[in-house]
Amino acid sequence: MSAQSRSNVLEIVCIFFGLSAVSSMTYIINDWIDRDRDKLHPIKKNRPLASGEVSGKEAIIANIFLAIFVVTTAYFINGLFAWEVGIYFVLTNMYSLGLKNVPILDMVIIIFNFLLRMSAVMPVLPTMQQFWEVAIASGTILIFLTHKRRSEIKSLGAHPEKHKEVLKYYTRPVLYFLRVGGYLAVMLAGIALDLDRNGQIIMISWLIILGLVSFKCSRDEQLAIKPHILIKNYILPTILIGLIAYFLYSMQASPKL
């Protein structure tokens, strides 16, 4: 491995841990803000701050160390990483302080933050082709967010808005409308990419996977709240699908002689 390759790998590792650290910071702040309300939630009451397992002082100390690591990482990494970390931190805390109670905007912020994490390794702004790929990712995240909101409403019983104010706006028709919008975004972006045969196979496969997972989420409310259960229970099919998708994408992306 060349020195340049080692440098790139090290930078990617630093970006990964830097993003993990800033995410942890925002989660700690959010859990501290919501600790009193979380104590009344059937699931969130077990969070470390809500349950009292971790004190406010311990949370502050943890965030100080995380902040030092994030600032140090952002200083040494080139490209847009420092801006992305800063935007992510500010936007996520604005979400925790009140924007999470604004319908639609709460979903937009969550989607944008996911995209910030995905684009952290980009040294420059995305190209037009990458824009359509971002649209596919946004539509996919929107689909799963609608399932998550619906699952939260089901699991919280008769008055979910008492635990999460924004849920009163997410009626079943609204969530179905947004979910259809997510599928349309994925399909239209796939068409706009003007893919070759292998790329089309990937897009069709992805839509089928989305449909199957969406159906599974509609039947199992815990799956939408904790999507890692899907990977845990279907780890071998997930790995196989990932390998096939990577192989087809490599064939589609490779230059033609």
Residues 195 and 84 in one domain: no
- pLDDT tens-place string over residues 196-209: 777 777 788 788 88
- pLDDT tens-place string over residues 128-139: 667 888 888 899
Residues 134 and 99 in one domain: no
186, 202 in Cβ contact below 8 A?
Answer: no
| Last-in-domain residue among 123, 146, 172 | 123
Backbone phi, psi, residue 227, to 5°: -65, -15
Number of Cβ within a 10 Å radius of residue 142:
20
Q: What is the DSSP string of 233-254?
A: HTHHHHHHHHHHHHHHHHHHHS
In the chain, how many domains are there?
2
Q: What is the rounded average pLDDT of the residues 18-43? A: 85
At residue 179 the predicted structure's pLDDT band, cuts being 50, 70 and 90, is: very high
Question: pTM for the full model?
Answer: 0.76
Domain that residue 185 falls in: 126-257
Which stretch of DSSP H or E encloses residue 162? none
Collapsing DSSP to helix, strand or coil, 119 comes out as coil
CATH number assigned to the domain comprising residue 45: 1.10.357.140
| Last-in-domain residue among 83, 105, 123 | 123
Q: With 60 as the cut, is the pLDDT of residue 19 above it?
A: yes
Residues 71 and 187 in one domain: no
109, 91 in Cβ contact below 8 A?
Answer: yes
Residue 202 has which token pair?
Answer: 């990937």
- pLDDT tens-place string over residues 138-169: 999 899 889 888 888 877 777 777 777 888 88
Higher pLDDT, 246 or 256: 246
Residue 208 has which token pair?
Answer: 């089928």
Residue 240 has which token pair?
Answer: 């196989």
User: Residue 125: what pLDDT?
Assistant: 59
214, 178 in Cβ contact below 8 A?
Answer: no
Integer angstrom CA distances of residue 204 from 11, 180, 200, 208: 34, 16, 6, 6
Residues 84 and 134 in one domain: no
